[in-house]
Structure 1
Amino acid sequence: MQQINGKIAFGGIAIGKIKEVFKENNVVRRVKIDDTQAEISRFRAAKNQATEELKALYDKAVKEVGEANAAIFEVHQMMLEDEDYLDSIRNIIVAQSVNAEFAVATTGDNFARMFADMDDDYMKERAADVKDISERVIRILSRKEETVHAADEEKYIIAADDLAPSETIQLERERVLAFVTRQGSTNSHTAILARTMNIPALVSAAIPKEVNGKYAIIDGFKGILILDPEEEILKEYEKKQQNEKKRQELLQQLKGKPTVTKDGKEIKLYANIGEVKDLGAVLQNDAAGIGLFRSEFLYLQSDHFPTEEEQFQAYKTVAEVMAGKKVIIRTLDIGADKQIDYFGLDREDNPALGYRAVRICLNRPEIFKTQLRALLRASMFGNISIMVPMIASVWEVKKVKEIMEEVKAELSAEGLPYKEVEFGVMIETPAAVMIADDLAKEVDFFSIGTNDLTQYTLAIDRQNAKLDRFYDSHHPAVLKMIQMVIDSAHEEGIWAGICGELGADLTLTETFVKMGIDELSVSPAMVLPVRNKIINA
């Protein structure tokens, strides 16, 4: 028996055989060619096929894990269109009269080294991405089929050096008990996908060689991989697995019960969703409403600016299905990290700090007005609230309100009915925290986006594996900021909630209740576990 520690990507217990996944080592040979233009055409065709594959992966990911987690596949598409990358490949083919495979491999290696040597942590992370897209193009040029792991009937634990997001999203959930990798970060795209797909997972574990076929246990709660467990240990974990199953069944008994603490304080417990098809999970898990509806999926899934009517039908459906329960819809939140061709956004080195969300909406009011018209019209069919992301200044809020009044006047003039809706903002920047008392005078509620707030407060890229030891979502500064926002809200008589991942952190639920939080919005699967914590708080 051997016990190996790893970093927890997602909790849970899995017991079964290991299937080792080996990445095929594509040996690329340098071949002299005579017709360089024909070779460039061959590369262009392979690049176009790679783009189509990435689009298909994005569509699959959007359906299974939501648009935010699918965005990495759009980044890969964008990198495939990078002119510097393409020019390097074409130049190597022409200047050296060599095959496209060699040109792509050489360019991929050069660009990966260039990114890895950069000081900027965000750019360092792009080294793995450029290698991934290059390997995809080489595979197509070599006419090899893409490997999809875990496609047979047996269930097993996947072990690998690392899994790219494209490999993770293609895992058949019904066949995979868990996965464990030798490399990776707990905040990588792959780890986030594992959490969204509810697959127990460990990363950065020192897995020995030749583990294929070995019986193993993954303890995603403690961050442990146990190889060849002794009989006694196996029985212990089988019992733990059964207890966890019973715990989940007990949580189902909380359905229909009010989310009230022992001292009588009611907490609004809502769900976060990415699109209309997620409504079933919201109702199944008995959420009191929707605390975050990510409206950008309508734009990301379209090849044109969604019309007012298209948006209206989507928002109307959500409002009707929720039958009077609160539905908080976040206005458009895209940027250079979520490239949409028809928006014509320039590439940015650090999109998290760039042209995104409300900044786009205020610069391009015609897009924003179309969305606001659809939202206000849909308000007639349910209990809709409007929430604006990435606020950093009071003037931004006032300008949004001004535009909303213009839209209301237009609708009234056209005889189109609408209701007055609750209007709120997301608190995601330290600037918004520090002026929360002023912002509270302008809105009806705050919703704290803890993912970005933590990242901006600590000045840490949460997807950088080297910074895992420094990234602390429980950092006193973050918790103090949350308290400041709640206090500022209550002083002005408005409510404050949390819609980031921290809202589902069961170790902080009691802390948030003591802080005076009014609302928590979590993934549908976490509604009942959080309710259990609250009613026992």
Structure 2
Amino acid sequence: MKVYEGKSIFKGIAIGKIFFYQKGTQQVKRVKINDVEAEKKRYEAANAKAIEQLEALHAKAVKEVGEANAAVFEVHMMMLEDDDYVSSIRNMIETQQVNAEFAIASTGDNFSEMFSQMDDEYFKARAADVKDISDRLIAVLSQRESVGDMGEEPVIVVADDLAPSETVQMDKEKLLAFVTRYGSANSHTAILARTMNIPALIGVEIEEEWNGHMAIVDGKNAKLYIDPDEETLEKLRTEQQKDIEARELLSLLKGKEDVTADGKHIKLYANIAGVADVANVLANDAAGIGLFRSEFLYLEAQDYPDEETQFLAYKRVAENMAGRKVVVRTLDIGADKQVDYFNLDKEENPAMGYRAIRICLDRPKIFKTQLRALIRASAYGEIAIMYPMIISVEEVRKIKEIVEEVKTELTKQGIAYGSFEQGIMIETPAAVVMSDELAKEVDFFSIGTNDLTQYTLAMDRQNMKLDSMYDPHHPAILRMIQKTIENGHKEGCWVGICGELGADTTLTETFLKMGVDELSVSPSFVLPIRKIIRETSVQE
């Protein structure tokens, strides 16, 4: 038996044989061509075919992992049609009279190298995307499949790396787990693994000779066992069975109240990115939606989504939730969420730059369009509106003025709307310090622990080099959460947590004892958190 360590992406246990996955790559040769126009047509046909494949992958991913996680394939489609990328390929075919495969491979290498050298982590991540779309085009031109046959039996897939398209195309009934040499915890493929509940390890020194060998992926302890002995096999089979039984027991909690052992009621809500995610919320029995990331309506569009498009999306979610609260965060783009048609300038430090509410207040027309849609949707369910990246009382008052303008306009036009709460994200140290004053202006606070942690610790949460130092459990973060809860309650605000820490089961009891009113988590975490809530006595 040999034991290898890696970094865990999803903490499950998988036992089975290894399938060593090799990409269907081949040497791309430079070939001089005589008919330039014919070669450009070959490229254009391949491009159209690649887009067709990505559309099919997107549809498949939406069903399996939801709209938010499927968005990567829309990004790939946009990249295939990017003017700079297309022009480079066409120009190379024309001026150098080379075959389309060589022009695509060269352009892909050039763009990938360019992105990887950038300081911005978002653009660094695009290096893998441009490589993926280039490989897809070359695969279409050479008429070969991009994903190999995994066989008939369920397997643990081992590979140097996996592109999102490869992960989605794999038969989930046959995919027990995956192990890769490369990749990051924030990559699209890692996000897909977590969404699909597939045990996964990255950063493992893999070997091709493992193909066909029995293995165990222990996501809990970030270990890979090759040819495990009987004792290890039996021990981890027992652990695996405990996990299965625990999930079955959790299903019995559906329909139960979110109330502590000593009677304190907690709002246990779910985070979503789009209309399609509501099914997951209902399946996991969340009491409401604590974070509807409305920016995905913008990220998935080719141009600014109009009022009617947004209204129909918000209305549908409100109706589907049938009277349960739906907290919609207003547009939060910038930093790692870039939208081409916003024409945002490149910034040295985008996480601290022109983003979220700063864009909305600077471009009131865009903001008012969204507010009109949201306020109209309040007539169809319990909508609450939440504003991100707040740092001052003045910002909140300005927002409330715009909201009143919108309400006045709708009333004059005879357009119905209901009552709605207004709240803010607490995700900057400034908002924590000012929370006593901010609480007088709004109905609720929702603590965004992801940004609050990076701003408080002065650490980029997407910088892999800082992983070992990045500590969301830092006492300073917990003190800030406590201070926010206390100041909110003094002024009658309910206070929730919608960041990643909300789903951290090691802190659930701590948050309950701090007095938090609401926790909003990924749908799959609702039942595990409910179990802890019902077993916790706040007084003790």
Q: TM-score, normalising length from structure 1?
A: 0.90
CA contact (8 A) 2:24 2:145 kept: no
Change (3 A) 1:100 1:449: same
Q: How does 1:327-346 map to 2 (within 5 A)?
A: 327-335=326-334, 343-346=341-344
- % identity of equivalent residues: 64
Equivalent in the alignment of 2:380: 381
* Cα offset, 1:395, TM superposition: 3.2
CA distance in 2, matches of 1:165, 1:457: 32
Equivalent in the alignment of 1:192: 191
User: What RMSD, in angstroms, separates the aligned Cα atoms of the two structures?
Assistant: 2.9
Please list the CA deviations of residues 2-58 of structure 1 after superposition, one character each: whole Å capped at 9, or x if unmatched: 222121101111111221111123201011123344434433443444445445444
Change (3 A) 1:175 1:485: same
CA contact (8 A) 2:89 2:103 kept: yes
CA distance in 2, matches of 1:223, 1:484: 35
CA contact (8 A) 1:78 1:339 kept: no
CA distance in 2, matches of 1:413, 1:115: 50
CA contact (8 A) 1:324 1:382 kept: yes
Change (3 A) 1:373 1:121: closer
CA contact (8 A) 1:67 1:300 kept: no
Equivalent in the alignment of 1:412: 411
CA distance in 2, matches of 1:496, 1:6: 37
Equivalent in the alignment of 1:110: 110
CA contact (8 A) 2:147 2:169 kept: no
Q: Secondary structure at the match of 1:292?
A: strand
Equivalent in the alignment of 2:132: 132
Please list the CA deviations of residues 176-232 of structure 1 after superposition, one character each: whole Å capped at 9, or x if unmatched: 111111222223222122111111111112233321221211111111111222223
CA contact (8 A) 1:188 1:464 kept: no
Equivalent in the alignment of 1:22: 22
Change (3 A) 1:5 1:311: same
Equivalent in the alignment of 1:142: 142
Q: Secondary structure at the match of 1:425?
A: strand
Kindly indicate whether residue 188 of structure 2 is the aligned counterpart of residue 172 of structure 1.
no
CA contact (8 A) 2:8 2:220 kept: yes
Q: Secondary structure at the match of 2:374?
A: helix
Please list the CA deviations of residues 69-128 of structure 1 after superposition, one character each: whole Å capped at 9, or x if unmatched: 344334444544555444443443344332222222223223333443445544443332
Q: How does 1:47-62 map to 2 (within 5 A)?
A: 47-62=47-62
CA distance in 2, matches of 1:85, 1:306: 26
Change (3 A) 1:288 1:359: same
Change (3 A) 1:324 1:178: same
One-letter amino acid matched to 2:17 = K
Q: How does 1:414-453 map to 2 (within 5 A)?
A: 414-453=413-452
CA contact (8 A) 1:30 1:98 kept: yes
* Cα offset, 1:431, TM superposition: 3.6
Equivalent in the alignment of 2:211: 212
CA contact (8 A) 1:339 1:345 kept: no
Kindly indicate whether residue 500 of structure 2 is the aligned counterpart of residue 522 of structure 1.
no
CA contact (8 A) 2:23 2:148 kept: no
- Greater mean deviation of Cα atoms: 264-273 or 68-77: 68-77
Q: TM-score, normalising length from structure 2?
A: 0.89
* Cα offset, 1:494, TM superposition: 0.8
CA distance in 2, matches of 1:51, 1:357: 31
CA contact (8 A) 1:424 1:444 kept: yes
- Greater mean deviation of Cα atoms: 321-330 or 469-478: 469-478
Change (3 A) 1:378 1:12: same
Change (3 A) 1:127 1:296: closer
Q: Secondary structure at the match of 1:210?
A: helix
Kindly indicate whether residue 275 of structure 2 is the aligned counterpart of residue 276 of structure 1.
yes
Q: Secondary structure at the match of 1:144?
A: coil
Consecutive unaligned residues of structure 2, counting only runs of 5 or more, are none
Please list the CA deviations of residues 408-447 of structure 1 after superposition, one character each: whole Å capped at 9, or x if unmatched: 1122222333222110112233443343333222211111
CA contact (8 A) 1:188 1:463 kept: no
CA distance in 1, matches of 2:277, 2:310: 17
Please list the CA deviations of residues 144-168 of structure 1 after superposition, one character each: whole Å capped at 9, or x if unmatched: 3332664x54222111111122222
Q: Secondary structure at the match of 2:451?
A: helix
Q: Secondary structure at the match of 1:108?
A: helix
Q: Secondary structure at the match of 1:162?
A: coil
Q: Secondary structure at the match of 1:125?
A: helix
Please list the CA deviations of residues 299-344 of structure 1 after superposition, one character each: whole Å capped at 9, or x if unmatched: 4555565454444343333333333222212223344855656x45
